[in-house]
Amino acid sequence: MNNSPIGVFDSGMGGLSVWRELRKTLPAESIVYYGDGAHCPYGEKPAAEVATYIDCAVRELLAAGAKLIVLACNTATMIAVKRLRATYPVPFVGMEPAIKPAAATTQSGVIGVLATRASIGSDWFGELSGKYAAGVRIIPAVGEGFVEAVERGEERTPATRLLIRNAVRPLAEAGADRIVLGCTHYPFLAEAIAAEAGPGIEVIDPAPAIARRVASLLDRYALQADETHRACYTFLSAAGTPYADRLRERASRL
């Protein structure tokens, strides 16, 4: 048994969609969440610059006692997960767009993927598409302004709804019957995305699968908390205490 916390890292608020699933799936596990906040969003920044932010976050999580770290950020996973696994002594779980289940279940043979520009333009995205989606048409779309809207807490405004409509309608019109959320900020917009997509189109959030993967690794490495352990939740940020307090407040509402 190991009552040390699970570490969760994201560029900002988005990883709370993963935090929510971890808390639901693993109620005895403490979690320390690091939301950068100072440098969000990552999707338009150079990889080398983002890598320095990721290393800072990982060191903070390890200093907080993290026994396993979830990179709850698709861009961070793409840039750093292989190097982190080779460098640090704890298991890492990364995010990837849920192309595999979408491709396996599509009836129309067309799936849409909403992600950041960096993720869509990466070799990593191309490898996933080639590996899991042979014979399926994949239509990528950038969630322009999605991350910023979630960071500002503006998921339900008319301006955000227009951003969502501009990104989602072309996917629906092209025949997609699955829309994959390829950024952890996007599940906070899932209800509006589904409404714009229309009936018969499934919106796929990878967070539940990530929680199951974490549970599996905790079991494999005998890192589970004691069943009677009272979980606690800690929030850290490169942007300082005010942003960490915003993370805590938002988490309390999930």
Residue 53 CA to residue 51 CA, distance in Å, equals 5
Q: Yes or no: say if 84 and 54 are a contact pair by the CB < 8 Å rule.
A: yes
The catalytic residues are: 73, 183
Across the strands, what pairs with 35? 10
Nearest Cα to 217, choosing from 229, 206, 209? 209
Q: Output the six-digit token pair for 225.
A: 């908390």
Residue 164 CA to residue 77 CA, distance in Å, equals 24
Gap between the terminal Cα atoms of the chain: 28
